Each structure stands twice: as C-alpha cells, then as structure tokens.
Structure 1
Amino acid sequence: IFMNKARNRIKLLHWEPGGMVLYSKLLEAGTFGQPSHMGKEAISGSIEWRDLVLIVEGIIENPDSRRQRLETLKKLRK
C-alpha cells in the first residue's frame, strides 16, 4: 500500500495467481485518512484489512471528523 505525501492518491499492489495487480485511487477533493495507531509523521507501518477498507472507503470512526470529500458526496446526492 502506497500513499502520496498529499494523501489524495493511494496505490495498492496485490498478488493474485497469474501476476501482480495494481489498484489506484485519486481523490477529487479531500484526503485519505490514516490509521489511528500511526503517528502523523510515520513513514511506514502495518495495518489490518479492516483499517485498509475504512481508509479507501473514506469511513471515519469518529463522526465528528468527517472528511471534505464525504461532505461533497452528500451534497451531490441531494
């Protein structure tokens, strides 16, 4: 899992039978979250599958800290 410094792009490298798969997601607005157990200045670390899904889907465990991109999506749905 690779995330750029601006935290608006994430790339996932995954091994499947037959070869490697590269997934990439670029946000139009806002940033990806960071696992709560990692410090803000952390360069690398390990996360669990649950944490990865929360980051990629933009789900924030603390409802008071919604990301800008989630607010934008809410406005688009209205």
Structure 2
Amino acid sequence: MLTLPSSVRIHLASQPVDMRKSFDGLSLLARQVLREDPLSGHLFVFFNRTRDMVKVLWWHSGGFCLFSKRLEKGSFRLPRPLPEDTGAVILEAVELTLLLEGIDLKASVRRPRWQPPPEKSVA
C-alpha cells in the first residue's frame, strides 16, 4: 500500500497519453494540460488509450521519479467515470493502490466518514 502524507495530491489525467513520453513530456503535460506544477511533489498518473499501461510522475529530492506498470493481460479499471472536459481527477492514495492492484471500484460503495464542520468566518 502506498503511504503518502496527506499534503500529497494524486492527479489522474482524464485523457489517454502516449506512453513513449518520459520525464520531460509528462512534466509538460502536468503543467499545460493538468495546470499543475510538476515540481510540487504531487503524483501525476497517466494511462494509455487501452488502459493496460500506467505511468506515475513524481518530483522528489531534486529530481523526477517515474513509475510504470504494464499489464500482460486485462486493463486497469478506473474508480469512477472521468469527465472529458476536465484535465484531471483527484484520487486518494487508497484508490490509486487498489487501481494498481487490479481491483474494480465501480461496484464499491464508500461508507460515510466523519468530517470536521466548516470553519466559521470571523467578521
């Protein structure tokens, strides 16, 4: 399981990407298409058209890390439909872990969790 600090966001690109792209090409997509800073320390997740390959770009300690996984059989199942008009969808670390393990989350139901009440504005 991925253990990431809560400050790290995971951006899943909603459009397929040419998997020949590497560090520079994917960081350019993160900046121009996803409109995020690739040097932020957040994770950027890209799939190919057939969703049998994934690449994750991450900036860490002065350099890019690139993780990739190619399935020999089958395809990755995304946790929810991706809107076509947005550049990216934010995932939770648990969703990314399950997605990489091949678990289909479409039929799963998230149980309600406690959330702190919204802060009251002081005026």
TM-score, scaled relative to structure 1:
0.65
CA RMSD of aligned residues (A): 2.0
Aligned to 1:20: 64
Q: Which residue of 1 aligns with 2:88?
A: 44
- For residues 4-44 of structure 1, the C-alpha deviation after alignment (integer angstroms, 9 at most, x for no partner) is 110000000011113110001111000001012x34x6463
Higher relative contact order (CA 8 A, sep 6+): 2
% identity of equivalent residues: 36
Q: State the number of aligned residues.
A: 61
**One-letter amino acid of the structure 1 residue matched with residue 71 of structure 2:** L
TM-score (norm 2): 0.43
Question: Greater helix percent: which structure?
Answer: 1
Q: Secondary structure at the match of 1:30?
A: coil
Say if 2:77 is the partner of 1:33.
yes
User: Partner of 2:55 in structure 1?
Assistant: 11
